[in-house]
Structure 1
Amino acid sequence: MTPRISGARLLETLERLAAFGGRPDGGVDRVAGSVEDLRARAWLAGQLRARGLVSWTDETGNVFGHTPNVRGGRLLVGSHTDTVPAGGRLDGAYGVMAALEALTTLHEQGHPAADSLEIVSFWDEEGAQPESSGGMVGSTALCAGPHLADLSAFVELHIEQGPRMELAGQELCVVDGIVGVDRHLIRVVGEANHAGTTPFSLRRDAGRVLARATAGAHDLMRSVSDTLVGNIGSLTLDPGAPNVIPGAAQLVLELRSPDEDVLTRCADLVLQHARAVAAEDGCTIEHWMLSHKPVVAFDEGIRTLLEKVCRSTGRPAGSLYSYAGHDAGVLSAHVPTAMVFVPSTRGVSHSPHEHTDDRLLTQGAQVLLEAVIAHHDSR
């Protein structure tokens, strides 16, 4: 008979973890490296030891757990327990607590799959500190270190953090991969001058160009492909004074899509529009690619295994790309990797209002346990 996780124990550990950095509004402040983050990691290590398991922490801060008789070629399962400021209690944390519950259940029942399993809480997935290098710190360090040789695959269970599953009535989704993410800096160069004494006809107003380019960019982004989302969340005027016509202005454009060509076409369209608008006002455009994260495609074999496990629940899994970044994206370049999503209520995440029904959380954790067994049996 297939072992069954304890839903009550899973939900209890989620509540106990949420107390570290818990806020009155139900959210969590547990930014990587904070006192609350360090306390939570120590608590997780203590939970592992209390359950007769081995816990160890690497030099980066990743917390690992396994049985005393663990073997090589391990399936790594987990996520992260750090949060953004005023974050939710499930993002990352759910994947770690579900991994803990799966390992505990298999160990308690003496199942042989327990000894081929290792769980992890990665350090600083979110990159929420001002001085952060962009997140995924722990998973990046793992992939550059010797422990990678002990691993055969990685599976991450996570909330979707978007509305697509709930809108489609899906309870489980096997993730195809992670979208590519491009960030562009677009700078408008005009001429600073006195705002009170310079007639409109003689202005080279970089701020006006920036505003027009920004307004037009959203319609352009929506016209390129329904697989693309984009954002302009950073606008700057120079010198930024009420009585000075901006001599320069800039925006940061972020684009996300599972299609690299779509990312390129959209950026080209936005730039063409910005240059046309700038020319009308006697300004010029400068452009830099700030960063490029390529599209990640997850391992077909692991995805197929996860799909079979999901079908066995009687609730076949949908499939989608993740539009948020995850540690799985880092691991996928080194070991066979895949992810499973459960729905997010109203698609809300990175918020105190982040929520998924208890039944769906329990079901996802049971799928994770059965995936561990299926992976063990397939070796």
Structure 2
Amino acid sequence: MPFTQLGLSSALLNAVTEAGYTTPSPIQSQAIPAILAGHDVLAAAQTGTGKTASFTLPILHKLSHIHHERNRPVRALILTPTRELAAQVGESVVKYGSHLHPRIKSDVVFGGVKINPQMMRLRGGVDVLTATPGRLLDLCQQNALKLDKVEILVLDEADRMLDMGFIKDIRRILALLPKKRQNLLFSATFSADIRKLTADLLHSPVKIEVAPENATADTIEQLVYKVNKGAKTALLTHLVKTNNWQQVLVFTSTKHGANKLTEKLNTAEISAAAIHGNKSQGARTSALAGFKQGNIRVLVATDVAARGIDIALLPHVVNFELPRSSSDYVHRIGRTGRAGQNGQAVSLVCSEEYQALRLVEKLIGNKIPSQEVSGFAAL
């Protein structure tokens, strides 16, 4: 089914074509008609399935048909767990709304940067607001923003918001919204906590599940290198250089580990930058931009910081350490192999992690092929 059959306006279809898309992804073909019809939606969708467009396109379509009041109250509110994801959703709104007349005004607000410039921007009103929960509440408390005209609420990556302890903030935000509104909830998993939240929030939702829970894409080649713990940095350096990898996202368990690995890679003349919660927003944005533009070959990230990193053609993901939670392995490697492209996910596993590896393999239902590199094999 082409995009032309989903009921979107010609202005939006032009923007979709300019972005290089002709056929909607499974989540888009199911979610867009349901949202246009006014239904609440509960969707299980991993990052990389095209879920952002599945809600931004129908929101823009619906808002383009309303009369814009002079002070432009917030009509659509999109909540995300991280600054990076908020910025990327905001970019999507701008990109797909580029041909709409009258123009839809949108903005993005998050913490970690000064609040005053955000307050100044919001004075002129905004139709679509993408926000992280904490900063949104700060703005409401300072009367920079009212949410009493919100018609559509999106909770994006709701499972991660709950994991990060945002449930109280979310409930406080819900109390500021009109009772009558359309609710759209996107989550990688339907956990017990998500089901509890949806029971209070959604009314007769259309349920969409586009991939089995904990499934990994067929386009991702998974590999394990068994290596002594102390030789991991040397093996990673060897793999990057000998394979001439130009864009690699590396996951570490700790912020300190991310900093240490970044220093060692730069010493080995491999351009690298770290991205984690202790970095300023400016440093995180700069590192991500450098990585996307090809100035930085290796981006070293912790799980929370990497949530929301959306790079269309990322070829390589490396688990420098396996994650504490097996389901995080699925989230991590899902950064590559997107939109039908091939990708490679490599895990450097020492003897202390063999049990964690068995749990990952049990979760995904497959044994991951193992290789050894001469001079780096685990003793």
Please, what TM-score do these two structures have when normalized by structure 1?
A: 0.26
The structure, 1 or 2, with the larger RCO (C-alpha pairs under 8 Å, 6+ apart) is 1
Of Structure 1 and Structure 2, which has the larger fraction of its residues in strand? 1
